[in-house]
């Protein structure tokens, strides 16, 4: 699906369609006013109600010139977003962690979280390691993300690999419904293209 044909609402981000290497893509940057992690910062697809199905997208992450030292190129998808943007599920990647020698950082290349309560910080403070993992990814390269959602279970795939990089059997909002958003976090200049959504119900 050509992303420029879609209508997005900016939720604590600046987004626009631009030309990147001869292709029209969506550029998304988090608002400078939102300084917390794992917040409702995405370009939200208008008139979309997603329950079960498949979301596929290609995404590319760069660090902004003023990105803080802790920026990791955070980029991903928010889904089942409720109407007032106060609840959603999300999966994102940290491309700068994908190929580092530091084992702790390397094990934090991917992340599931559930807004507003179950952020990455909540999981780490409570010693919950089930929602992070490794991935062979980097900055300034197209990463193919595929999400399969069925009820309260989510499977997350990268770069056409046969096995998921993460399986979440108990997503925190359970069996819900809502919109889809192109998610970025602090310090990221995010680019998205080829968004494809298959609805199962």
The CATH number of residue 9's host domain is 2.60.120.560
Least confident of 33-42, 62-71, 115-124: 33-42
What does the pLDDT average to over 28-53?
A: 91
**Res 2: pLDDT:** 75
Cα–Cα distance for residue pair 133/190, rounded to 1 Å: 21
Give me the domain span that covers residue 117.
3-199
pLDDT band at 5 (very low <50, low <70, confident <90, very high): confident
pLDDT band at 7 (very low <50, low <70, confident <90, very high): very high
Q: Domains in the chain: how many in total?
A: 1
Q: Position of tokens 């094990």?
A: 107
Strand order in the sheet with 53-63: 13-20, 23-30, 188-199, 53-63, 143-150, 153-158, 166-168
**Res 1: pLDDT:** 67
**Res 36: pLDDT:** 80
pLDDT at 146 over 80: yes
pLDDT band at 114 (very low <50, low <70, confident <90, very high): very high
**Res 86: pLDDT:** 97
In angstroms, the Cα distances linking 28 to 42, 62, 76, 94, 183 are 8, 11, 11, 16, 8
What does the pLDDT average to over 187-194?
A: 97
Looking at residue 161, the DSSP 8-state letter turns out to be: -
Per-residue pLDDT of 152-170, as tens digits, reads: 999 999 999 999 999 999 9
Q: Among residues 193, 62, 88, which one has the least CA distance to residue 149?
A: 88
């Amino acid at each position: 699906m050509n992303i420029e044909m879609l209508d997005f609402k900016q939720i604590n981000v600046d987004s626009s369609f631009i030309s990147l290497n001869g292709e029209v893509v969506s550029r998304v940057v988090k608002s400078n006013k939102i300084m917390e992690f794992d917040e409702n910062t995405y370009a939200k697809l208008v008139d979309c109600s997603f329950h079960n199905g498949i979301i596929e997208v290609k995404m590319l992450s760069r660090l902004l010139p003023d990105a803080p030292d802790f920026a990791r190129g955070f980029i991903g998808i928010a889904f089942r977003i409720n109407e007032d943007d106060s609840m959603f599920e999300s999966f994102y990647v940290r491309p700068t962690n994908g190929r580092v020698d530091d084992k702790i950082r390397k094990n934090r290349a991917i992340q599931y979280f559930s807004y507003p309560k179950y952020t990455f910080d909540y999981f780490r403070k409570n010693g919950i390691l089930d929602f992070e993992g490794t991935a062979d990814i980097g900055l300034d390269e197209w990463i193919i993300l595929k999400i399969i959602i069925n009820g309260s279970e989510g499977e997350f795939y990268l770069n056409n690999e046969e096995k998921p990089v993460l399986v979440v059997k108990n997503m925190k909002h359970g069996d819900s419904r809502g919109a889809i958003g192109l998610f970025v976090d602090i310090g990221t200049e995010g680019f998205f293209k080829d968004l494809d959504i298959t609805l199962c119900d």
